[in-house]
Amino acid sequence: MKKIYTGIWLLISLAFFASSHASAQNPDIAIGQWREHIPFNIVIGVTEVGETVYAASQYGIFTYSKTDGEVNLLTRIGGLSDYEISGIKAEKSIGIVLVAYSNSNIDLILPDQTIINLPDIKRKNIIGGKRINDILFADGHAYLSCEFGIVVIDLSKREVSDTYYIGQNGQNTNVNSLAFNGSQMLAATDSGMYIANYNDPNIFNYTAWVRETNLAQPTANYTSVTSLNGKFYAVKTNTAFSLDSVLEYNSGIWSSAFNDNYEGGRIDSYNNFLLYRNDFKVSALDASKNEIYSVNVNMYYNPNIRNGFVDDHGVFWVADKNNGLIRFSSAPYDLQKIAPNGPR
């Protein structure tokens, strides 16, 4: 009988210890406070400022320190202005991170972590959609590719400075992506590509934007554009086949950059690499289109690759919509999944 009592007392003690440990990991919430339960494994975008990586899930951001692995959370309760993030990108030379939301709201995260809200597009009465499709930084400004045109943000003044309606006769047109090669801007739309001289004082006017006609399909759907070493690159969808075309623009001539036999193609550039993503991988290519780094769906379980970039240390940081933030180093080989605790 004494052994039975001793066993019961041991079980009670263990249960009390487990309860105390759980309380320490999840401290009680004071009256009037909230605890967020955010699925941080659903990462839709990734960017960096210095040694800090910003990973955006749909409902919050977490940062990862490259130096010590520290993870910090940034959510609606913690300072963000809205929910459901649709895009994130950093102007790393001045340390500003731009966050776009599905309702077209915008946050600027400054180097001191101050958050400036720019709700101009969200509040603007526009016929049709207002979605922010892409973000481009150039000459101290952020250029937002939107469903109705282009919105310009002056980063030094922290304000919207202009709106370009580049469709025919100044009508709204869905701009999927923008690129800047140092002298010209290229806009990819659902019905072709338009080019303008960056220093044209009338660039805000649709007459400054000329449709690119030196193409096999000048009115096709072009989903993304970028620039590297003065050359433009573009991705065109192909409705007849399950593949996308990647084109290169050099000295006024468009030609095939490389062949891709899959759908979901998007192109970008960062750190002197072309960044190409399709439904199965994300790759970093040099100016000669040689694949230098790549993360693909065969490298880990249950992948859903969205985008990524290669940093100055040769580490590939990938946004994955199932696994969170992926850190991949090829020399030596190391692949890590990083995601704060949350519902899955």
Q: What is the mean pLDDT of residues 259-280?
A: 89
Ranges of H-type helices in the chain:
2-25, 120-123
Q: What pLDDT was estimated at residue 299?
A: 97
Lowest mean pLDDT among 138-152, 167-181, 236-250: 236-250
Mean pLDDT of the chain: 88
Is the pLDDT at 207 greater than 50, yes or no? yes
Of residues 344, 311, 306, the one with CA closest to residue 325: 306
Tokens of 302: 């249950």
Instruction: Please give the distance of CA 315 from its chain centroid, rounded to a whole number.
Output: 17
Q: How far apart are CA 99 and CA 58, in angstroms?
A: 11
Between 242 and 132, where is the model more confident?
132
Instruction: Please give the distance of CA 20 from its chain centroid, rounded to a whole number.
Output: 40
Is the pLDDT at 212 greater than 70, yes or no? yes
Tokens of 97: 């991170």
| CA pseudo-torsion sign 217, 218, 220, 225 | positive
Is the pLDDT at 240 greater than 80, yes or no? no
Q: How far apart are CA 70 and CA 340, in angstroms?
A: 11
Is the pLDDT at 15 greater than 60, yes or no? no
Q: What is the pTM of this model?
A: 0.88
Long-range contacts of 233-239 (CB under 8 A, 24+ apart): 233/179, 233/257, 233/267, 233/269, 233/274, 234/186, 234/188, 234/193, 234/267, 235/188, 235/265, 235/266, 235/267, 237/263, 237/265
User: Is residue 36 very low, low, confident or very high in pLDDT (cuts 50, 70, 90)?
Assistant: low
Q: What is the mean pLDDT of residues 5-12?
A: 38
